[in-house]
């Protein structure tokens, strides 16, 4: 689960990490007033669930309140497209109006999960700011990574080593050690899979400050934090993802034309691989999970059909817990209801498979039943080709 920059900064601030003074505004008039309160000169920052805003015109330095209002009108007027949003961009509903800080140096800093090594890892670079992706590509040696032992946690000597590698000395170095220790504590207590500060800056006055912040919470830990669901901004999510969430289905939007209905994440991955190998391009995948009911399958089918990019549907279900005749009835119910004429290929196996296949063949839908995964995948690709 993602949150906005201003919310992430509030969390950082509650862990004694300094942030610029700021106000969140919902209208361009509010932006103007906030700018006035700060004496005119400030920075307006579009709040979206993506980075790359600076280069896309979503972060702008302002000299006087009327200019703040003018920029805010522009920012609110259309979706913001950045290198991280995809071509459709994201709607801007909130703008953070922040004091303009005089920056001396910019660093990159993050704590994230290293799933391969089953631990958190601290990542830091003295070359922070808007070009960190280029640094990672061209000079990876300038990026320092430190795996954190889950038993001992981050130790001050390790934090000091990182601060020294960033080229910090004296009291700023000690401030950085404290900041890193606090950041690690925040990542643990708030169940974050990512906390990123890019840039962390040293101001001209010599203070460390988090100038940007991104936090991703671990979805599996949201239940431990009663305040998290209220922090969600639904305007930032794909409406189909929201519907899928309500029915406890996992829906992921992709860029191709084949809608995929599968049960289980492993089978979903295998399905995408086989489709790709056959020359197909998945539009999405929808995982109905292990013990899905007929209603759940029907709902999943409706969600896939609402995706305008879908030109054909591939159903790949292993009926271990779920019976194949139940799946077949779910598909027939949903496809019938929306008068679906798109080609459908079903590959299923498991309990009551023959009964399920029979129901589909007699359904009157534009459906083919594959004998195995490879056969079924090449059929849907041919039907669309």
Containing H/E element for 304? helix 294-306
Query: How far apart are the C-alpha atoms of 185 and 88, rounded to whole Å?
Result: 36
Query: How far apart are the C-alpha atoms of 118 and 25, rounded to whole Å?
Result: 40
53 binds ligand ADP (CB under 6 A): yes
Query: How far apart are the C-alpha atoms of 90 and 190, rounded to whole Å?
Result: 26
Which of 38, 159 has the CB closer to ligand ADP? 38
**Number of residues located near ligand ADP, criterion CB under 6 A:** 19
Which of 197, 345 has the CB closer to ligand ADP? 197
Parallel/antiparallel/unpaired status of strands 192-203 and 208-210:
antiparallel
Q: Of residues 98-157, which lie at the interface with ligand ADP (CB under 6 A)?
A: 98, 100-101, 103, 106, 129-130
199 binds ligand ADP (CB under 6 A): yes
Among 32, 127, 212, 287, binds Mg ion (CB under 5 A): 212
Tell me, yes or no, if 196 is annotated catalytic: yes
Query: How far apart are the C-alpha atoms of 195 and 249, rounded to whole Å?
Result: 27
**What is the DSSP annotation of 34-62?**
HHHHTTS-EEEEE--S-S-TGGGTSEEEE
CB of 53 to ligand ADP, least distance (A): 3
51 binds ligand ADP (CB under 6 A): yes
Q: Indicate which of Mg ion, ligand ADP, none lies near residue 20 (CB less than 5 to 8 Å, by partner kind).
A: ligand ADP
Hey, how many other C-beta atoms are within 10 angstroms of the C-beta on 68?
28
287 binds ligand ADP (CB under 6 A): no
Q: What tokens does 216 get?
A: 């991703």
CA torsion angle for 131, 132, 135, 137 (degrees, to 10)? -100
Q: What tokens does 150 get?
A: 């889950």
Residue with the CB atom nearest Mg ion in the bound state: 212
Q: Of residues 234-263, which lie at the interface with ligand ADP (CB under 6 A)?
A: none
Q: Mind telling me the catalytic residues?
A: 108, 196
Residues in touch with ligand ADP (CB under 6 A) = 20, 43, 45, 51-54, 59, 98, 100-101, 103, 106, 129-130, 198-199, 211-212
């Amino acid at each position: 689960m993602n949150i906005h920059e201003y919310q992430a900064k509030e969390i950082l601030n509650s862990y004694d990490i300094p942030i610029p003074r700021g106000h969140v505004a919902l209208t361009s008039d509010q932006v103007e007033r906030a700018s006035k309160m700060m004496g005119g000169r400030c920075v307006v920052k579009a709040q979206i669930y993506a980075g790359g805003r600076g280069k896309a015109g979503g972060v702008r330095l302002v000299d006087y309140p009327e200019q703040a209002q003018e920029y805010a009108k522009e920012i609110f007027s259309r979706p913001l497209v950045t290198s991280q949003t995809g071509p459709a961009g994201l709607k801007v509903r909130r703008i953070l109006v922040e004091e303009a800080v005089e920056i001396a140096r910019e660093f990159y800093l993050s704590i994230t999960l290293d799933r391969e090594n089953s631990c958190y890892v601290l990542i830091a670079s003295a070359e922070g700011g808007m070009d960190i992706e280029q640094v990672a590509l061209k000079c990876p040696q300038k990026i320092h990574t430190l795996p954190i032992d889950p038993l001992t946690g981050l130790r001050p000597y390790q934090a000091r080593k990182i601060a020294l590698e960033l080229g910090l000395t004296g009291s700023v170095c000690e401030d950085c050690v404290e900041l890193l220790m606090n950041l690690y504590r925040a990542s643990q207590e708030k169940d974050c899979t990512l906390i990123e500060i890019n840039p962390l800056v040293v101001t001209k006055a010599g203070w460390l400050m988090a100038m940007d912040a991104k936090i991703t919470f671990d979805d599996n830990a949201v239940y431990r934090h009663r305040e998290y669901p209220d922090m969600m901004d639904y305007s930032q999510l794909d409406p189909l993802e929201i519907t899928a969430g309500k029915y406890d289905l996992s829906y992921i939007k992709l860029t191709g034309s084949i809608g995929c209905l599968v049960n289980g994440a492993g089978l979903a991955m295998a399905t995408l691989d086989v489709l790709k190998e056959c020359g197909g391009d998945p539009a999405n995948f929808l995982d109905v999970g292990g013990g899905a009911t007929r209603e759940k399958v029907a709902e999943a089918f409706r969600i896939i059909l609402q995706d305008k990019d879908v030109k054909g549907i591939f159903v790949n279900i292993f009926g271990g817990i779920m019976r194949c005749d139940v799946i077949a009835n779910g598909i027939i119910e949903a496809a019938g209801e929306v008068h679906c004429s798109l080609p459908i290929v079903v590959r299923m196996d498991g309990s009551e498979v023959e009964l399920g296949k029979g129901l589909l063949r007699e359904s009157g839908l534009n459906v083919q039943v594959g004998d195995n995964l490879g056969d079924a995948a090449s059929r849907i690709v041919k039907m669309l080709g």
